Structure 1
Amino acid sequence: MIGRLTGIIDGHTKNPLIIDVGGVGYVVSVPKRYLASIQPGTTHTLHIHTHVRDDAIDLYGFAAPAELTLFNLLLTVSGIGPRTALYVVDCGVAAVESAVQRSDVDFFTTIPRLGTKNAQKIIIELKSKLGSSRALDLSDSSGETKEVIDALLSMGFDKHEIRKTLEKLDPAAVSVEQKIRQSLKFLGK
């Protein structure tokens, strides 16, 4: 298994790229945003995930250990393969962690190869692994929460602002009316 490669980036910077380590060229898939920051002929260190399949061995490289850690966590989610996980990591570790903590399904559904069900799986399975202390609140699954969201949407508020506000609500607010009142206080109306 390969854990890290330090070598010279081959003359082209397309994905997957080739990194020359001691005369051996390793083909490594990397996040797209990483490609923009490299120059051919320069030395780079990549933290590697070796993915073994029946018909191939694929290498996935990351500039930072945190990206590799997130990638490995994503692979533990059922239905998420390495290519999809690479698209998610390309959004940035902080952005993904924040989206998981906020239960932001919309964030994940904008990523190629991810639908609503897999986005929800990522949130559910990674929330505890990323250290959340809050209870999971997917708007699609809670009838009361959906009612609050619909009421606030009808008043002209943005869905993203509403989601942020719902995270701030006092757990003692049990009725839909109480949740709407508290939300309006946070939203400034």
Structure 2
Amino acid sequence: MIDYINGVLVDIETQYVVLETQGIGYQVYCPNPYRFQRQLDTQIKIYTYQHVREDLIRLFGFETKSERALFEKLLNVSGIGPKGALAILASGQPEHVVRAIEEEDEALLVKFPGVGKKTARQIILDLKGKLDDFVPSLLTDSNSLMESTRGGGPSKNEELEEALEALRALGYVERELKKVRPTLEEEQLETDAYIKKALQLMLKI
């Protein structure tokens, strides 16, 4: 298994990023590739999970070990494959996903793409009580990432447009984005923060 790739981020697509190391470009599928937008053309480390099927070998990538571990836990739930697990991680902050499971918050879980009531109940049945160690580490990882992304960058409008484009890639339609855009425009945030804020607002719609 490939534990991580340390390479130059050379491309970002709607579903994956491309990391180049020693002349090889690795296609790595991520929960939200656009979160790496500000690191384009720089060297980064992505923790990976290698998924093997009879007809497919695919690498999935994550910013932190904790996020990868949660992805693996979700794969153990009956009815959830890699695509579904990625959608859940892309649509909500990992620590919120963990809390929803521990608190049996089905109403929150069913808001994630591809998760119906039956799947939400299955997630809770399979994972509740098995994620106690995740919340502290996820909160630590989240704080570290916020610190690492502070500083100069694109203008507010560019950050917002990047966030909206990422949300479109996740399957959100213009009708949903129009409802939250006025609120987002009132704040001056970085791309990741805009995405998180938008997701929080849409979960309340």
1:50 match: 50
1:118 match: 119
1:104 match: 105
CA deviation after TM superposition for structure 1 residue 44, in Å: 1.1
Tell whether 2:85 aligns with 1:85: yes
- Cα contact 1:17–1:27 (8 A) shared by 2: yes
- Cα contact 1:10–1:40 (8 A) shared by 2: yes
| Ranges of 4+ aligned residues in structure 1 off by more than 3 Å | 11-14
Cα distance in 2, alignment partners of residues 118 and 12 from structure 1: 31
- Cα contact 1:13–1:40 (8 A) shared by 2: no
1:35 match: 34
Cα distance in 2, alignment partners of residues 37 and 57 from structure 1: 23
Structure number with greater CO (CA < 8 Å, separation at least 6) is 2
- Cα contact 1:30–1:61 (8 A) shared by 2: yes
CA deviation after TM superposition for structure 1 residue 31, in Å: 1.3
Give % identity: 34
Counterpart code for 2:73? L
Cα distance in 1, alignment partners of residues 111 and 12 from structure 2: 29
TM-score, reference length from structure 2: 0.60
What do residues 120-141 of structure 1 show as CA deviations (whole Å, max 9, x unaligned)? 1111111021139xxxxxxxxx
SS at match of 2:15: coil
Say if 1:115 and 1:7 are closer, same or farther in 2 by CA, change over 3 A: same
Counterpart code for 2:99? S
Counterpart code for 2:74? L
TM-score, reference length from structure 1: 0.65
Cα distance in 1, alignment partners of residues 79 and 60 from structure 2: 18
CA deviation after TM superposition for structure 1 residue 87, in Å: 1.2
CA deviation after TM superposition for structure 1 residue 15, in Å: 2.1
Say if 1:4 and 1:118 are closer, same or farther in 2 by CA, change over 3 A: same
2:95 match: 94
CA deviation after TM superposition for structure 1 residue 13, in Å: 4.4
- Mark the runs of 5 or more structure 1 residues left unpaired by the alignment: 133-189
- Mark the runs of 5 or more structure 2 residues left unpaired by the alignment: 134-205
> Which has the larger Rg?
1
SS at match of 2:88: helix
Say if 1:84 and 1:73 are closer, same or farther in 2 by CA, change over 3 A: same
